[in-house]
Structure 1
Amino acid sequence: LRGPLGFRCLYLDEYRDRLFVGAKDALYSLRLDRPGADAKEIHWPPGPGQTEECVRKGKDPVPKFVAAFLIPDSDDRDDDKVYFFFAEKVAEAEGKEHTVLSRVARVCVNDAGGQRVLVNKWSTFNKARLVCSVPGPGGIDTHFDELEDVFLLRTKDEKNPEIFALFSTVSAARHPVPATGSAGCVYRMADIRDVFNGPFTHRDSPLHQWAAYEGRVPYPRPGVCPSKTTSQPRHQYSTTKDYPDDVLHFARTHPLMYKPVSPRHGRPLLVKTDLQHHLRQLVVDRVEAEDGHYDVLFLGTDAGSVLKVVVLQNAASATPDEVILEELQVFKTPVPITQMEISVKRQTLYVGASPGVAQVRLHRCEGYGTACAECCLARDPYCAWDGTGLALGPQIRAMQISARSLRYGSCHLIPWFAVINRL
């Protein structure tokens, strides 16, 4: 799909085999199997006065809202929450300097606001700092403060997906790494929930430092949802409008949690400071293998290219190793990639930028040559070696292992799932 789309967003519907593309004044529906055929278009221009209204409501772009996901916290559906990820400009304690920090926030799906306080406003909103930093000498960490993108990797437990987030540095003056530095961090939902169940942040005046709130927290605890868990025999809370005024006053004055959310293992999964361009978009595919799993990251840049990176856990070190498998120039002109969607079912990556939308295969095994050694050195979990013929008997199991893991062994440059299908 090409043309001056003013492209902004993608939505992948694998159930209907459609890709929906949001563009300027238009919405497109494309077939996944044949993108150029049976394309549908809805012309959707703004109504009278809507453009001017958007301009009037514009805020300081301190670059921003990034993503939102509905993630259940328990088996009680009344306890479901929406988690938001964004970056915002905040004032330092002395009020003389502003900085950009990344946040994770949440609000109950059944939040109806208050009856007398916070009327028609969120009454269960809490937020916390999202930290992605590299430990440095002397206890001085290098922080990647500006959130660029978030990818939710679903697991078998719908309550505990893994959160992959892409960050960049804000300025070279505040950090010892170049301004083009980027980092990727992974967060566990258990750690996020622990922060929201912990102490609130409080300060007595704008001139004081932020500290943990040590006073009495009203019941029901601000931020919890009206549900069976919240209600008591004498206090039935079927809606947030039933919450006492002291709960809503506290929620309005104490939205920030004291502890930050730290990444898994306390450090980034990926750090890149030597790239000529900025990393803007992130999607992840988890490849299962006999010895565990491998995460393949697809990183969209502001130059129209996509980096394919595999993360390898190093047994001798707590720091994972990342290997750039390839960099594909998706768009001829160096335009920023604004959105990416991955289809594991079709083994395809859909990439969007202002000139249009492109589809890219997750694997291009033919690019690694024709020798077994080249395959092993490539370390691409999508590609495997099947020898010179069809393996039989005990060799079948060995071929499955070598096809699905990144170990040495016989591997032929074809997609690993094709090897399994042939067996």
Structure 2
Amino acid sequence: MSVFGGIGFTAPWLLLALLALPILWLILRAVPPAPVRRRFPGVALLLGLADDDSTSDRTPWWLLLLRMLAVAAIIIGLAGPVLNPQAEAEEGSGPLLILLDGSWAGASGWDRQMAAVDAQLTRAGRAERTVGILSLTDPQVPTFQSADAWRSRLAGFTPAPWQPAPAELTRATEIMAALPAFDTLWFSDGLDYPGRDELLAALQSKGAVEVHQSAGNVIGIAPAVYQDGAIDLTLRRAAPGPERAAVVQAHGRDPAGNARVLATANATFEAGATEARTSLSLPAEMRARLTSFDIAGQRSAGARSLVDDGLRRREVALIRGRGAQEGLQLLSPLHYIEQALAPSADLIDGTLTEVLPANPDVIVLADVATLAPAEAEPLQEWIDAGGMLIRFAGPRVAASDVSRIDEDPLMPVRLRAGGRSVGG
């Protein structure tokens, strides 16, 4: 490639055609020989007549200039002009490997990265270099071929929802060792991970290495944690930087079952900090409908956290038996049940007629022997719809005749007949 005044030409030899422009000028100006003049008396009859259309005996100078400029523009266009081209020494020669991290951290700017890769393929095509492309999240032996062949396959490259694992880096290093010498263009997603230095050393042993890394600071979100009645959210960024605000969106289903954003929370990275925290206080019913948290404006797997059962505290209804309560708290039929369930569930206290409309996940009957028909029938329907009933036997159940002769549909087994007390 030749460079003239900041403009390069891929076919500079075509510019020699500009030397032929003076010859073209002379050809266009050429006129036929002057006509032989013969006097004819009848010409006097034509005096004073004028034609509607007239033809000039020579081409006007401005038309000649336009034609010359058009021919010059065609010649320059065929010479392949390039604005601010790279110097010939920087183009390099020989095989070129384009290495992609291909991780979740590059998903937000993937389109820009593919545009940069396409520009490098164009540059390699002008230098007539063969190109191979390798992604660290799916290392396969690259095939070095023309840049045009790779350009048609760029749409097939997509970022993986994980970062390169040690096994994948080891595989990539082994592939590099088996290849002949080549130069490398490494498009990094901005994350550091074990084995990166060893891979860089392997690439440098094969040729020159040029690293392209996005200037954006990658942000990710950690799994949500339920603590002290609120949902704690932790955001992390790849490197320290200036103060930066981020918005966390809580996605879920509304009562009609439609997906929507149920709540938002603001988090702020302090200057120089790599971690930001925020929290959300939501009712138990809304927490049960959450499906995921994500960072607004970030499109990557690391910017989204799915909700698991650890965040969905179950609703457990505790039903006491009718009659006087125990005098001592430790003798209460629900005391130890409450102590066991309180850290991991939302407890509902009341009568069956009060808790059934809330549709809890579990109903616990603590030493409740019999139920009124107005309570037993709705409870049976709730169980048939998928509810879970847990019954604890106590003195009242032991003293009753429930499920001894006839099987009770609300009892898991029949109670054995006879005494149940062991003394001595």
What TM-score, normalized to structure 1? 0.20
Q: Which has the higher contact order (CA 8 A, sep 6+)?
A: 1
Which structure has the bigger radius of gyration?
2
Larger helix share, 1 or 2: 2
What TM-score, normalized to structure 2? 0.20
